[in-house]
Amino acid sequence: MASEIQHPNPNANWETRGWWEGAGRGELVLQRCASTGTFQHKPRGISAATWDDDIEYVVAAGTGTVYTYTVTHQNQAKGFAEACPYVMAYVDLDEGVRVLTNIVGCDPEDVTIGMAVEADFAAGERDDGEAFAVPRFRPVGTGSGSGAGAS
């Protein structure tokens, strides 16, 4: 039985901190361009649509569908070598943006394209003590909710 993925700690800057700290609260915080209404991910310091800085933040529903995925059987990197096979996937959020993630909480062989999934947060703590979490996804209805620390 493969062990759980040990996610390397993400590094954040002022542009991306909102995403990781939101995840620490059990939320997916998306950026939206205030003038065009376009969501954007990954987060940026400007609107990719207009290059203006009128960005607003919206808490996503936390649900989506698997756009595509792969079951990884070989990855020498620390935190993943022991976790093989694991599922890496793109999930299309209900808000219309795609995130790279892992699908957890089910047998890798049971993952399908189009499968309905919900966010699942792996809690961590940065060196400076700030709480954050790495958002992953699991099949809808298989988790104990989407609160921080559920895994």
Cis status, amide bond into 85, omega within 30 of 0: yes
Smaller CB distance to another protein: residue 25 or 48?
A: 48
Q: Least distance to another protein from the beta carbon of 7, Å?
A: 4
Q: CA-based diameter of the chain, in Å?
A: 49
Q: Does 38 bind another protein (CB under 8 A)?
A: yes
What is d(CA 49, CA 114) in angstroms, rounded to the nearest whole number? 28
- Which amino acid makes up residue 27? E
Extended beta strands in 13-126, E state: 29-33, 39-40, 55-59, 63-72, 86-93, 98-103, 116-125
Candidate residues 26, 64, 102, 119; the one interacting with another protein per rule CB under 8 A:
102
Binding mask 45-64 for another protein (x = CB under 8 A): ---xx---------------
Assess contact for 90 and 100: CB atoms under 8 A. yes
Q: Least distance to another protein from the beta carbon of 16, Å?
A: 5
Candidate residues 4, 35, 42, 149; the one interacting with another protein per rule CB under 8 A:
42
Q: Pick the piece of the chain touching another protein (CB under 8 A) from 9-17, 56-64, 142-150.
A: 9-17
Measure CA of the first residue to CA of the last residue in the chain; give whole Å: 17
Q: Pick the piece of the chain touching another protein (CB under 8 A) from 37-45, 55-63, 141-149.
A: 37-45
- Which amino acid makes up residue 48? A
For binding to another protein (CB under 8 A), which residues are involved?
Answer: 5, 7-13, 15-16, 20, 38-42, 48-49, 67-80, 83, 86, 88-90, 96-102, 113, 134, 136
